[in-house]
Amino acid sequence: MTDISNHTIEANGIRQHYMEAGRGAPVVLLHGFPFTNFTWRHQIPELAKRYRVIAPDMRGYGETDKPVAGYDKRNMAKDLRELMRKLDIEKIALVGHDRGARVATRFAKDYPDATDRLVVIDNVPTRIIARDFNFSRMAKTYWLFLFHLKLDLPEIFISGREEQWLRHLFSEWCYNPHAISGPAFETYVAAYRSPGAVRGALADYRANADDLAQDLADADVKIACPTLSIWGAEFDGVGKAFDMPAIWAEMASDLSTFAVPRCGHVPQEEHPDLTNNLLLEFLDGWAGERPRQSN
Protein backbone atom coordinates (compact mmCIF):
# COMPACT_ATOMS: atom_id res chain seq x y z
CA MET A 1 0.00 0.00 0.00
CA THR A 2 1.38 3.41 -0.99
CA ASP A 3 2.18 5.75 1.86
CA ILE A 4 0.73 9.12 0.80
CA SER A 5 1.47 12.00 3.14
CA ASN A 6 -0.22 15.40 3.33
CA HIS A 7 1.70 18.61 3.96
CA THR A 8 1.23 22.37 4.09
CA ILE A 9 4.00 24.87 3.46
CA GLU A 10 4.25 28.63 2.97
CA ALA A 11 5.49 29.44 -0.54
CA ASN A 12 5.03 32.49 -2.76
CA GLY A 13 3.08 34.18 -0.01
CA ILE A 14 0.35 31.55 0.40
CA ARG A 15 -0.13 28.39 2.41
CA GLN A 16 0.03 25.50 -0.05
CA HIS A 17 -1.27 22.00 0.55
CA TYR A 18 0.25 19.07 -1.30
CA MET A 19 0.29 15.28 -1.24
CA GLU A 20 3.55 13.39 -1.56
CA ALA A 21 4.48 9.76 -2.11
CA GLY A 22 7.42 7.70 -3.30
CA ARG A 23 11.11 8.36 -3.83
CA GLY A 24 13.30 9.19 -6.76
CA ALA A 25 13.11 11.76 -9.51
CA PRO A 26 10.37 14.33 -8.77
CA VAL A 27 7.13 14.31 -10.74
CA VAL A 28 4.58 17.07 -10.09
CA LEU A 29 0.88 16.63 -10.88
CA LEU A 30 -1.31 19.74 -11.31
CA HIS A 31 -5.07 19.27 -11.29
CA GLY A 32 -7.63 21.24 -13.30
CA PHE A 33 -11.05 22.80 -12.70
CA PRO A 34 -13.18 21.98 -10.77
CA PHE A 35 -10.94 19.30 -9.34
CA THR A 36 -8.42 19.16 -6.51
CA ASN A 37 -5.32 17.02 -6.11
CA PHE A 38 -7.76 14.19 -5.30
CA THR A 39 -8.13 13.73 -9.07
CA TRP A 40 -4.70 12.02 -9.10
CA ARG A 41 -5.71 9.27 -6.63
CA HIS A 42 -5.31 6.60 -9.35
CA GLN A 43 -1.97 7.92 -10.60
CA ILE A 44 -0.09 8.62 -7.37
CA PRO A 45 0.24 4.98 -6.21
CA GLU A 46 1.53 3.79 -9.58
CA LEU A 47 3.89 6.67 -10.25
CA ALA A 48 5.20 6.53 -6.68
CA LYS A 49 6.63 3.07 -7.35
CA ARG A 50 9.32 4.78 -9.45
CA TYR A 51 9.20 8.49 -8.64
CA ARG A 52 8.81 11.07 -5.92
CA VAL A 53 5.29 12.30 -6.66
CA ILE A 54 4.07 15.71 -5.50
CA ALA A 55 0.46 16.74 -6.12
CA PRO A 56 -0.40 20.24 -4.91
CA ASP A 57 -3.78 21.85 -4.54
CA MET A 58 -3.31 24.90 -6.74
CA ARG A 59 -4.00 28.45 -5.57
CA GLY A 60 -7.73 28.81 -4.95
CA TYR A 61 -8.43 25.08 -4.80
CA GLY A 62 -8.77 22.37 -2.16
CA GLU A 63 -6.85 23.00 1.04
CA THR A 64 -4.53 25.64 -0.43
CA ASP A 65 -5.14 29.31 0.34
CA LYS A 66 -7.70 31.20 -1.73
CA PRO A 67 -6.50 34.81 -1.84
CA VAL A 68 -8.35 37.50 -3.75
CA ALA A 69 -5.59 37.99 -6.34
CA GLY A 70 -2.65 36.27 -8.01
CA TYR A 71 -4.41 33.83 -10.35
CA ASP A 72 -2.64 34.72 -13.58
CA LYS A 73 -0.78 31.67 -14.81
CA ARG A 74 2.65 33.28 -14.46
CA ASN A 75 2.06 33.76 -10.75
CA MET A 76 0.51 30.32 -10.36
CA ALA A 77 3.59 28.87 -12.05
CA LYS A 78 5.64 30.85 -9.54
CA ASP A 79 3.58 29.20 -6.78
CA LEU A 80 5.00 25.89 -7.97
CA ARG A 81 8.54 27.21 -8.45
CA GLU A 82 8.60 28.58 -4.91
CA LEU A 83 7.16 25.33 -3.56
CA MET A 84 10.01 23.52 -5.31
CA ARG A 85 12.54 25.86 -3.68
CA LYS A 86 11.12 25.09 -0.26
CA LEU A 87 11.40 21.37 -1.03
CA ASP A 88 14.94 21.80 -2.42
CA ILE A 89 13.92 20.55 -5.87
CA GLU A 90 15.64 22.08 -8.88
CA LYS A 91 14.05 20.21 -11.79
CA ILE A 92 10.84 18.26 -12.34
CA ALA A 93 8.80 16.29 -14.78
CA LEU A 94 5.47 18.12 -14.89
CA VAL A 95 1.95 16.83 -15.59
CA GLY A 96 -1.05 19.15 -15.82
CA HIS A 97 -4.73 18.60 -16.57
CA ASP A 98 -7.11 21.30 -17.83
CA ARG A 99 -6.35 24.54 -15.91
CA GLY A 100 -3.35 22.80 -14.40
CA ALA A 101 -2.06 22.27 -17.93
CA ARG A 102 -2.22 26.05 -18.44
CA VAL A 103 -0.11 26.54 -15.34
CA ALA A 104 2.23 23.76 -16.47
CA THR A 105 2.61 25.29 -19.94
CA ARG A 106 3.47 28.67 -18.46
CA PHE A 107 5.90 26.98 -16.05
CA ALA A 108 7.67 25.21 -18.92
CA LYS A 109 8.09 28.54 -20.74
CA ASP A 110 9.08 30.63 -17.74
CA TYR A 111 11.33 28.00 -16.12
CA PRO A 112 12.75 25.88 -18.95
CA ASP A 113 15.80 24.91 -16.90
CA ALA A 114 13.50 23.53 -14.20
CA THR A 115 11.38 21.42 -16.59
CA ASP A 116 12.70 18.10 -17.85
CA ARG A 117 9.50 17.02 -19.61
CA LEU A 118 5.88 18.11 -19.80
CA VAL A 119 2.52 16.32 -20.06
CA VAL A 120 -0.64 18.30 -20.86
CA ILE A 121 -3.95 16.48 -20.47
CA ASP A 122 -7.09 17.56 -22.35
CA ASN A 123 -6.14 21.20 -22.77
CA VAL A 124 -6.26 23.74 -25.56
CA PRO A 125 -3.86 26.64 -24.86
CA THR A 126 -5.45 29.96 -23.90
CA ARG A 127 -4.28 31.91 -26.94
CA ILE A 128 -5.51 29.17 -29.29
CA ILE A 129 -9.00 29.29 -27.79
CA ALA A 130 -9.02 33.07 -28.16
CA ARG A 131 -7.78 32.85 -31.75
CA ASP A 132 -10.00 30.02 -32.98
CA PHE A 133 -13.13 30.54 -30.87
CA ASN A 134 -16.32 29.73 -32.77
CA PHE A 135 -19.41 30.35 -30.64
CA SER A 136 -21.80 28.14 -32.57
CA ARG A 137 -19.34 25.23 -32.48
CA MET A 138 -17.95 25.68 -28.97
CA ALA A 139 -20.74 27.23 -26.87
CA LYS A 140 -21.80 23.86 -25.41
CA THR A 141 -18.52 23.57 -23.53
CA TYR A 142 -16.96 27.02 -23.34
CA TRP A 143 -20.00 28.86 -21.93
CA LEU A 144 -18.32 28.67 -18.54
CA PHE A 145 -15.37 30.76 -19.79
CA LEU A 146 -17.83 33.66 -20.10
CA PHE A 147 -20.13 32.83 -17.17
CA HIS A 148 -17.28 32.61 -14.69
CA LEU A 149 -15.97 36.05 -15.64
CA LYS A 150 -19.02 37.77 -14.18
CA LEU A 151 -18.22 38.86 -10.65
CA ASP A 152 -20.38 37.52 -7.79
CA LEU A 153 -23.30 36.24 -9.90
CA PRO A 154 -21.94 32.70 -10.49
CA GLU A 155 -21.26 32.34 -6.76
CA ILE A 156 -24.89 33.27 -6.05
CA PHE A 157 -26.19 30.58 -8.40
CA ILE A 158 -23.74 27.89 -7.25
CA SER A 159 -23.87 28.49 -3.47
CA GLY A 160 -25.97 25.80 -1.84
CA ARG A 161 -26.19 23.94 -5.14
CA GLU A 162 -22.62 22.63 -5.32
CA GLU A 163 -23.84 19.07 -5.83
CA GLN A 164 -26.04 19.97 -8.82
CA TRP A 165 -23.33 22.18 -10.31
CA LEU A 166 -20.64 19.49 -10.15
CA ARG A 167 -23.03 16.75 -11.29
CA HIS A 168 -23.82 18.77 -14.42
CA LEU A 169 -20.14 19.39 -15.20
CA PHE A 170 -18.95 15.84 -14.61
CA SER A 171 -21.87 14.19 -16.44
CA GLU A 172 -21.49 16.50 -19.45
CA TRP A 173 -17.71 16.19 -19.60
CA CYS A 174 -17.31 12.41 -19.22
CA TYR A 175 -17.95 9.86 -21.97
CA ASN A 176 -19.53 7.73 -19.25
CA PRO A 177 -21.66 10.25 -17.31
CA HIS A 178 -21.32 8.13 -14.19
CA ALA A 179 -17.50 7.98 -14.32
CA ILE A 180 -17.18 10.29 -11.30
CA SER A 181 -19.77 9.08 -8.82
CA GLY A 182 -20.20 7.75 -5.29
CA PRO A 183 -17.56 8.60 -2.68
CA ALA A 184 -15.31 10.30 -5.28
CA PHE A 185 -18.11 12.65 -6.30
CA GLU A 186 -18.96 13.37 -2.66
CA THR A 187 -15.32 14.26 -2.01
CA TYR A 188 -15.51 17.01 -4.62
CA VAL A 189 -18.86 18.23 -3.32
CA ALA A 190 -17.42 18.54 0.18
CA ALA A 191 -14.42 20.47 -1.17
CA TYR A 192 -16.66 23.04 -2.84
CA ARG A 193 -18.83 23.51 0.22
CA SER A 194 -15.79 24.89 2.04
CA PRO A 195 -15.57 28.67 2.52
CA GLY A 196 -14.10 30.45 -0.48
CA ALA A 197 -13.81 27.33 -2.63
CA VAL A 198 -16.15 28.39 -5.43
CA ARG A 199 -14.77 31.94 -5.47
CA GLY A 200 -11.20 30.66 -5.58
CA ALA A 201 -11.84 28.33 -8.51
CA LEU A 202 -13.67 31.01 -10.49
CA ALA A 203 -10.82 33.45 -9.85
CA ASP A 204 -8.69 31.10 -11.94
CA TYR A 205 -10.94 31.90 -14.94
CA ARG A 206 -11.14 35.58 -14.10
CA ALA A 207 -7.42 35.84 -14.84
CA ASN A 208 -8.02 34.87 -18.49
CA ALA A 209 -7.20 38.34 -19.87
CA ASP A 210 -3.84 38.36 -18.09
CA ASP A 211 -3.19 34.78 -19.18
CA LEU A 212 -3.90 35.66 -22.81
CA ALA A 213 -1.57 38.67 -22.68
CA GLN A 214 1.22 36.50 -21.25
CA ASP A 215 0.68 33.83 -23.90
CA LEU A 216 0.66 36.31 -26.76
CA ALA A 217 3.87 37.96 -25.52
CA ASP A 218 5.89 34.76 -26.06
CA ALA A 219 3.74 33.01 -28.66
CA ASP A 220 6.78 32.54 -30.89
CA VAL A 221 8.70 30.68 -28.17
CA LYS A 222 8.17 26.94 -28.35
CA ILE A 223 8.40 24.66 -25.33
CA ALA A 224 11.81 23.06 -25.62
CA CYS A 225 11.47 19.97 -23.44
CA PRO A 226 9.83 16.72 -24.58
CA THR A 227 6.06 17.23 -24.44
CA LEU A 228 3.17 14.76 -24.44
CA SER A 229 -0.37 15.92 -25.18
CA ILE A 230 -3.15 13.54 -24.13
CA TRP A 231 -6.86 14.18 -24.65
CA GLY A 232 -10.21 12.43 -24.59
CA ALA A 233 -11.31 11.60 -28.13
CA GLU A 234 -14.99 12.14 -27.32
CA PHE A 235 -14.90 15.50 -25.53
CA ASP A 236 -16.75 18.23 -27.44
CA GLY A 237 -14.55 21.01 -26.08
CA VAL A 238 -11.17 19.55 -27.02
CA GLY A 239 -10.76 16.42 -29.12
CA LYS A 240 -13.89 16.98 -31.18
CA ALA A 241 -13.41 20.74 -31.58
CA PHE A 242 -9.71 21.13 -32.37
CA ASP A 243 -6.93 19.50 -34.37
CA MET A 244 -4.95 18.69 -31.27
CA PRO A 245 -1.73 17.39 -32.89
CA ALA A 246 -1.54 20.54 -35.03
CA ILE A 247 -2.27 22.85 -32.10
CA TRP A 248 0.36 21.36 -29.83
CA ALA A 249 2.87 21.27 -32.69
CA GLU A 250 2.56 25.08 -32.58
CA MET A 251 3.41 25.01 -28.88
CA ALA A 252 6.19 22.41 -28.51
CA SER A 253 9.18 21.46 -30.63
CA ASP A 254 9.50 17.87 -29.33
CA LEU A 255 5.93 16.54 -29.30
CA SER A 256 4.10 13.25 -28.84
CA THR A 257 0.29 12.99 -28.86
CA PHE A 258 -2.37 10.47 -27.89
CA ALA A 259 -6.17 10.57 -28.14
CA VAL A 260 -7.76 8.36 -25.47
CA PRO A 261 -10.68 6.46 -27.06
CA ARG A 262 -14.13 6.43 -25.47
CA CYS A 263 -13.04 9.19 -23.15
CA GLY A 264 -14.19 12.70 -22.32
CA HIS A 265 -12.43 15.51 -20.51
CA VAL A 266 -10.87 13.59 -17.60
CA PRO A 267 -8.66 10.72 -18.81
CA GLN A 268 -7.00 10.28 -15.41
CA GLU A 269 -10.39 9.43 -13.86
CA GLU A 270 -12.19 7.89 -16.84
CA HIS A 271 -9.34 5.61 -17.98
CA PRO A 272 -6.81 5.57 -15.14
CA ASP A 273 -4.93 2.43 -16.19
CA LEU A 274 -4.34 3.66 -19.74
CA THR A 275 -3.39 7.10 -18.46
CA ASN A 276 -0.93 5.56 -16.01
CA ASN A 277 0.67 3.52 -18.79
CA LEU A 278 1.01 6.60 -21.00
CA LEU A 279 2.59 8.58 -18.18
CA LEU A 280 4.99 5.82 -17.16
CA GLU A 281 6.12 5.29 -20.75
CA PHE A 282 6.70 9.01 -21.28
CA LEU A 283 8.46 9.46 -17.94
CA ASP A 284 10.76 6.50 -18.50
CA GLY A 285 14.35 7.67 -18.31
CA TRP A 286 13.64 10.62 -16.03
CA ALA A 287 16.24 10.11 -13.30
CA GLY A 288 16.21 13.53 -11.69
CA GLU A 289 18.64 16.41 -11.67
CA ARG A 290 22.24 15.27 -11.79
CA PRO A 291 24.27 16.23 -8.72
CA ARG A 292 26.27 19.38 -9.24
CA GLN A 293 30.00 18.85 -9.69
CA SER A 294 32.14 20.50 -7.05
CA ASN A 295 35.26 22.35 -8.19
What is the model's pLDDT at position 136? 64
Task: Specify the pTM.
Answer: 0.95
Q: Is residue 294 part of a domain?
A: no
pLDDT in tens, 230-241: 999 999 989 998
Q: Is residue 295 part of a domain?
A: no
Q: Is residue 216 part of a domain?
A: yes
pLDDT in tens, 246-272: 999 999 999 999 999 999 999 999 999
What is the model's pLDDT at position 141? 79
For position 203, which CATH number holds?
3.40.50.1820
The total of structural domains in the chain comes to 1
Percent of the chain scoring above 70 in pLDDT = 96
pLDDT of 109 higher than 80 = yes
Catalytic residue among 79, 98, 122, 211: 98
Q: Is residue 288 part of a domain?
A: no
Catalytic residue among 17, 31, 265, 271: 265
SS3 readout for the chain: CCCCEEEEEEECCEEEEEEEECCCCEEEEECCCCCCHHHHCCCHHHHCCCCEEEEECCCCCCCCCCCCCCCCHHHHHHHHHHHHHHCCCCCEEEEEECHHHHHHHHHHHHCHHHEEEEEEECCCCHHHHHHHCCHHHHHHHHHHHHHCCCCCHHHHHHCCCHHHHHHHHHHHHCCCCCCCCHHHHHHHHHHHCCCCHHHHHHHHHCCHHHHHHHHHHCCCCCECCCEEEEEECCCCCCCCCCCHHHHHHHHECCEEEEEECCCCCCHHHHCHHHHHHHHHHHHCCCCCCCCCCCC
Q: Is residue 292 part of a domain?
A: no
Q: Is residue 291 part of a domain?
A: no
Q: Is residue 44 part of a domain?
A: yes
Answer with the residue of higher pLDDT: 280 or 289. Answer: 280
pLDDT of 51 higher than 60 = yes
Q: Is residue 149 part of a domain?
A: yes
Is residue 220 flagged as an active site residue? no
Is residue 97 flagged as an active site residue? no
Domain range enclosing 138: 5-283
